[in-house]
Amino acid sequence: MSGGGTSTFFGQTEIRDLGTATLPANASLAFQVPVDSTTFMLVADGGRAPDIDIAPIVDPLGATWITASFNDLDPIGRTTLQAAGQSVAAGLFPHSTTYSVPLGTYQFSVLNFGSATQSAKVYALLNRRQNLSAGSLIVNVHFCGLNDLNAGNAMANPSFGVLLSEFSRILLQAGIQVQVAGTYDCPASDQTRLAVIDDVDGNQNGLPDELEDLFSQSGNVTTRGLSIFFVQQIDDNDGDASIFIAGIAGGIPGPGPIVGTVQSGVAVAIASNRIGLLSTEALLRRGRTMAHEVGHYLGLFHTTEQCGADATQCEGFTIPIAAFNVDPIPDTPECPTSFDTDGDGQVTADECLAADGLNLMFWTQPSPPQVRNRLTAGQVFVLQRNPLVQ
């Protein structure tokens, strides 16, 4: 264990550096942190090393929040603190309306689940914001490989304005005012290389290597905030060149206002090398994708995963616990497998219109003119408690 003991501030959030843990293979290191705020985050940044976890976590009253086992449902519900492969483990507390955060000292461990010695920088983010019903989200917008959109012209570009306005409108429903702090271009050497994010994941941490390169550029900003990257295309990870991903978040949640990590950002694919070629409907859908991925980054899961709320199998994989198909928030609707009317093994937004198909965090968008933009009170509760919202 080295370093630690210093704090910086992001708005009303104290970012407390707990030091750097050196972790042999399959080893963990215990930490404790006094929490004097009603919402906080824990972050363990392993650089590009895979399989960094935070577990277990025990609250000041002795209650276990996160168990040492990675294949059970934790007492506080679904999290990604033990997600397979990840280089950055992050948790927001509370992440649902089902529990509160008692003041006092929390015990937790950072685990290297990998096969080689790794190190991880460990942080506690103590959010002392008092007004948890309205706030601002500072964003930095980055552009990579778009011929008609860059840092110099983006804020005056009418097409980008449509996209940004739709994103801002949706977050305003949650009492969150979007503030663009800065616009940035990818370095010249990356304008072509990172315009199309391929699916190569050499370090097997669950994110494409080029996406890690992209998100690492979040450390180059002047004003700390959430970095959102616009690229031409993000390739699907099954090798099918005809399918692309609309957007990716660096985590659920991402590492909050910790910038410069391989998971510090959100990426949105324009699906063209020119934003001016997109129709108004396509721009609006990109704005909703932007809001959806930011929702993930701030701590929201899909309300229903693609195979249905009660699925036991999905794309050949066994789902051991049905709660892994849905979010941990009680008031969000869910779409069961009985809504899969065409029998293709997926519940689409069009099939789930009577359930959660129009919720912002449903796993896919509905066909026009339907709009995926709804939020429940429980989802707003979570969004407002992320330290990025100030």
Q: What is the pLDDT of residues 284-341, one digit of tens each?
A: 999 999 999 999 999 999 999 999 999 999 988 898 888 999 999 999 999 999 999 9
pTM exceeds 0.85, yes or no: yes
- Contacts for 131 with CB less than 8 Å, ≥ 6 apart: none
Q: How many domains does the chain have?
A: 3
Average of per-residue pLDDT across 358-381? 98
Lowest mean pLDDT among 61-75, 153-167, 238-252: 238-252
Tell how strand 266-269 and strand 226-231 pair up: parallel
pLDDT grade for 344, boundaries at 50, 70 and 90: very high
Residues 249 and 143 in one domain: yes
Tell me how long the chain is.
390
CATH of the domain at 214: 3.40.390.10
Same domain flag for 97 and 202 = no
Kindly tell me if the per-residue pLDDT of 241 is higher than 70. Answer: no
Judged against a pLDDT cut of 60, whether residue 143 lies above it is answered with: yes
**294 and 270 co-located in one domain:** yes
Co-location of 146 and 275 in the same domain: yes
What's the average model confidence in pLDDT over 43-58? 96
* Pairwise CA distance, residues 300 & 95, whole Å: 8
- Binned at pLDDT 50, 70 and 90, residue 237 comes out as low
In a shared domain, residues 45 and 153 = no
Quick one: which of 184, 105, 94 has its CA closest to 139? 184
Among 92, 127, 162, give the residue marking a domain's end.
127
Last residue of a domain, one of 73, 95, 127: 127
Distances from the Cα of 188 to the Cαs of 220, 333, 336, in angstroms?
14, 45, 47
Average pLDDT for 156-162: 98
Crossing angle of helices 158-172/280-298, nearest 10°? 40
Task: Please report whether residue 150 resides in a domain.
Answer: yes
Confidence of residue 28 (pLDDT cuts 50, 70, 90): confident
Radius of gyration (Cα) for the chain, nearest Å? Answer: 20
More confident residue, 116 or 146: 146
What is the spatial distance between Cα 128 and Cα 314, in angstroms, rounded to a whole number?
41
DSSP class of residue 302 equals P
What integer is the mean pLDDT of 24-43? 91
pLDDT of 386 strictly over 70? yes
> Which range, 71-85, 189-203, 236-250, 283-297, is most confident?
283-297
